[in-house]
A and B are shown apart, each in its own frame.
Chain A
Amino acid sequence: MSTPGNSALRKTVYWGTHYLMIAAFVVFALFPLYWLLKVSVTPNDILYTEGVRMWPSRTTWDNYTFVMTQSNFPHYFMNSVIVSGSTAFFTCIIAAVTGYAFSRFRFRGKIIIVALMLITQMFPLVMLIAPIFRILAPLGLTDSLTGLIIVYTAFNVPFATFLMQSFFDGIPKDLEEAAMIDGNTRFEAFRRIILPLTLPGIAATLGFVFTAAWSELLFALMLVSSESASTFPVGLLSFVSKFGVDFGQMMAAGVLALIPACAFFLLIQRYLVQGLTAGAVKG
């Protein structure tokens, strides 16, 4: 038997360890981001001499000003916003409709379609670049934002569909049946009753897809050749090649590029866990 004092001590030790480990995870997660920030505000002349100091003796916003005013970065940034936003939007619509069908209907060929979607998750995507280029080029969709949006949407639909399906599985069938009896067709019931209830799930999916599209480099690099259609990751690489490697400017651009993705992610990460839980409860 443990005495009350003993158990209080154990509790303290437990929570002490708990907070210590939490702190370790937070530090591990944030330190690289901190380093990114640090490099971006370090003046070029002391970048190497004070390379390993935790904080430089002088800081500067020059890198940021350069990136915002002298480079193509704002343009790349806009391209990325358009591509990621559209990809997230279209992926969510398609995944919602498909996920709903997976959740509610039994139909011939369903297993094949599900298997197809699972298998697409195994593709070494590198292998698809040349064939996709071959298919898109005659349609005038290479070197265009539209082409990127189509490709990204296709890549993200399978995972987003399974995610959306788990959200729909958590919503009782009775609701759309009641709506159908009240005077909706099934599709109207889906749109007016079921979809509004999955808003948290849709937010999570949006965030997921947005960050994925925001980060994508390979296809953006290979399918787009002109400056005017380049997205931000490609632009960031141009810092590496064009100006020698100007790390300060590159890191500044990187920090700026992190902002929308992180903001989006911070907003939706709560729904992500909630949404996945709702799906998991139903099994």
Chain B
Amino acid sequence: MDGEQAVNTMTDVGNRPAARRGVFSRRVSGILEPYYYVSPALVLIVAVMLMPLILGLSYAFRDIRILNPFSGGFVGLAHFQTLMHDSAFLGALVNTAWWTFGSLFFQFTLGLVLALLLNRHFVGRRLVQALVFLPWAVPTFLSGLNWAWMFNPVVGPLPHWMVSLGIMETPFNILSDPDLAMWGPIVANIWFGIPFFAITLLAALQSIPGELYEAASIDGANTRQQFFSITIPFLAPTIAITLMLRTIWIANFADLIVVMTKGGPADSTQIVASYIFTQAFRRLDFGYASAIAAVLLVLLLAYALGVIALRRAMTHADS
């Protein structure tokens, strides 16, 4: 142990050089310590995510078609030029916005309502909580298959219910109607995504100190005023961060669409993420797929930075 040695050879305070060396070595090990802790994660993420990402981005500028032995050459910006005029891609952009914000709006609103309901004590709350969170544990493609099944008028109850409710005239499968098909995956996504918001918001709700509500009710605030003056401001940071992360996540989330509609009918449910999948694994054109993915990544980064900048501007305006 050099630390002990350093001490043993310098029992008098005056022995400066040895002391300096000791300080130096302890300081170096102190500086290095955090990196020991983060290095496994860092190595893994760089090797399995960052390097493939860079490789993937490089594909965007190359001609990579799996079944074509002559492919692999550098094509510059050709993929991006094609992309500008690819009407399927432009349609997919619009669909992505629909898909993302349609899912997000209902997931969030219903998740918030559920969290508020679960934040009160009532008989059987723990059981209810366990049950309503369950959809999250269901493998997504299984829930996709199941929902597709339920939308089918031959084997599923949903079209018949919609007829009885007067929403539909005769039972038909909305997944095969280009105007309505998007609602199929969106409903499945809402079902799957409510628990995420409910869990996060419930945790945030439970961390609001109870005295705040007591103080507010002494000040004469009614339930609605308490909700808007205490609950919402307290939840705001959680809401902001989860909404941002989820927007990105949902925009990238193609599983349900691939399983339920494969982007059809007539590309009416094709979102950018599923379009990438189609290009890569049905047409085996990895170069073009990578170019689309690169554009999507840039758009999502811009969105995230925009949201962060907006939040910063708003908090600055507050103070």
* A residues at B contact (CB < 8 Å): 15, 18-19, 21-22, 25-26, 28-30, 32-33, 35-36, 39, 47-48, 51-52, 54, 94-95, 97-98, 100-102, 105, 107, 110, 113, 116-117, 119-132, 134-135, 150-151, 153-155, 157-158, 161, 186, 211, 214-215, 217-218, 222, 233, 236-237, 247, 250-251, 254, 257-258, 261-262, 264-266, 269-270, 272-273, 275-277, 279-281
A135 and B191 CA atoms in complex are apart in Å by: 36
What residues on B are CB-neighbors of A100 within 8 Å?
A: 37
Query: From DSSP, what is the main secondary structure of chain A's interface residues?
Result: helix
Inter-subunit contact B41/A98 (CB<8 Å): yes
**Contact A121 B248, beta carbon cutoff 8 Å:** yes
Which residues of the partner chain A approach B40 to less than 8 Å between Cβ atoms? 94, 97-98
- CB-defined contacts of A94 to chain B, threshold 8 Å: 40-41, 44
In the bound complex, residues from chain B placing their C-beta under 8 Å from that of A125 are: 252
A123 and B59 form a contact (CB under 8 A):
no
Min C-beta distance of B42 to chain A, whole Å: 6
A96 to B106, CA, bound (A): 33
0/1 interface trace, chain B 221-256, chain A, CB 8 Å (1 if under)? 000000000000000001000000100110010110
Residues of B close to A48: CB separation below 8 A = 154-155
- Interface centre among A32, A127, A153, A217, by most chain B C-beta atoms within 10 angstroms, is A127
Q: Give CA–CA (A105, B34) in the complex, Å.
A: 6
* Smallest beta-carbon distance B4→chain A, Å: 14
Check: B25 CB closer than 8 A to any chain A CB.
no
CB distance from B185 to the nearest CB of A (A): 14
Q: If A35-B157, A113-B42, A134-B55 touch, does A122 touch B248 (CB 8 Å cutoff)? A: yes
Distance between Cα atoms of A266 and B128 in the complex (Å): 11
24 cross-chain CB contacts under 8 A: A18-B117, A21-B113, A25-B128, A28-B191, A29-B133, A29-B191, A32-B135, A36-B142, A39-B155, A52-B157, A101-B38, A105-B34, A107-B34, A121-B249, A127-B290, A135-B47, A135-B52, A151-B48, A154-B47, A155-B48, A236-B142, A250-B145, A258-B137, A265-B136
Given A39-B149, A157-B44, A273-B203: A123 in contact with B155 (beta carbons within 8 A): no
Q: A26-B131, A270-B126 are in contact. Are A120 and B56 (CB under 8 A)?
A: no
Q: Which residues of B (112-164) have their CB < 8 Å from a CB of A?
A: 113-114, 117, 120, 122, 126, 128-143, 145-147, 149-150, 152-157, 160
Complex partner residue of A126 from B59, B128, B249, B277, CB under 8 angstroms: B277
Closest partner residue, chain B, to A102 (CB atom): B38
Contact of A269 among B56, B199, B254 (CB under 8 A): B199
Cβ contacts under 8 Å, B93 to chain A: none
Q: Is B56 touching A128 in the complex (CB atoms < 8 A)? A: yes
In the complex, given contacts A131-B52, A217-B141, what are 15 additional A-B residue pairs having Cβ atoms less than 8 angstroms apart? A18-B122, A21-B113, A22-B128, A26-B128, A101-B34, A105-B34, A120-B49, A122-B248, A122-B297, A130-B64, A130-B280, A154-B48, A155-B48, A218-B277, A258-B139
Q: A279 CB to closest chain B CB, in angstroms?
A: 8
What residues of chain A lie closer than 8 Å to B216, measured between beta carbons?
none
Q: With A33-B138, A135-B47, A270-B126 as given contacts, are A122 and B252 in contact (CB-CB < 8 Å)?
A: yes
Say yes or no: is B88 at the interface (Cβ < 8 Å to chain A): no
- 5 shortest interchain CB distances as A-B pairs: A276-B203, A127-B293, A154-B48, A215-B139, A101-B37
Contacts of B301 in A (CB 8 A): 119, 122
Indicate if the CB atoms of B137 and A123 lie closer than 8 Å.
no
User: Which residues of chain B are within 8 angstroms of A273 by Cβ–Cβ distance?
Assistant: 129, 199, 202-203, 206
- Pick the residue among A110, A117, A129, A251 that contacts B45 (CB under 8 A): A117
Total residue contacts A-B, CB cutoff 8 A: 256
Is B296 an interface position by the 8 A CB rule? yes
Question: A35-B149, A48-B154 in contact; A123/B202 too (CB < 8 A)?
Answer: no
Residue B204 is within 8 A (CB to CB) of chain A in the complex:
yes
Is B176 an interface position by the 8 A CB rule? no
From A22, A257, A264, B117 is in contact (CB under 8 Å) with A22
Look across to chain B and name the residue whose beta carbon is closest to the beta carbon of A236.
B142
Digitize B24-61: 1 where CB-to-A-CB distance is under 8 Å, 0 elsewhere: 00000001011101101110110111111101100100
CB distance from B153 to the nearest CB of A (A): 8
Complex Cα distance A128/B142, Å?
A: 23
Task: Report yes or no: A25 in contact with B114, Cβ–Cβ below 8 A.
Answer: yes
**What B residues does A261 contact at CB under 8 A?**
137-139
Q: Quick check: is B181 within 8 A (CB to CB) of the other chain? A: no
Q: Which residues of B, 268-313, contact A by the 8 Å Cβ criterion?
A: 272-273, 276-277, 280-281, 286, 289-290, 293-294, 296-297, 300-301, 304
Contact between chains at B296 and A124 (CB < 8 Å): yes
When distances are taken between beta carbons in the complex, the residues of chain B under 8 Å from A237 are: 141
Closest chain A residue to B159, Cβ basis = A52
**Closest B-chain residue to A133, C-beta based?**
B52
Q: Please tell me if the beta carbons of B203 and A277 are within 8 angstroms of each other in the complex.
A: yes
Q: Separation in Å of the B48 CB from the closest CB of chain A? A: 3
Q: Are A122 and B280 in contact (CB-based, < 8 A)?
A: no
Q: A33-B138, A94-B40, A131-B59 are in contact. Are A126 and B300 (CB under 8 A)?
A: no
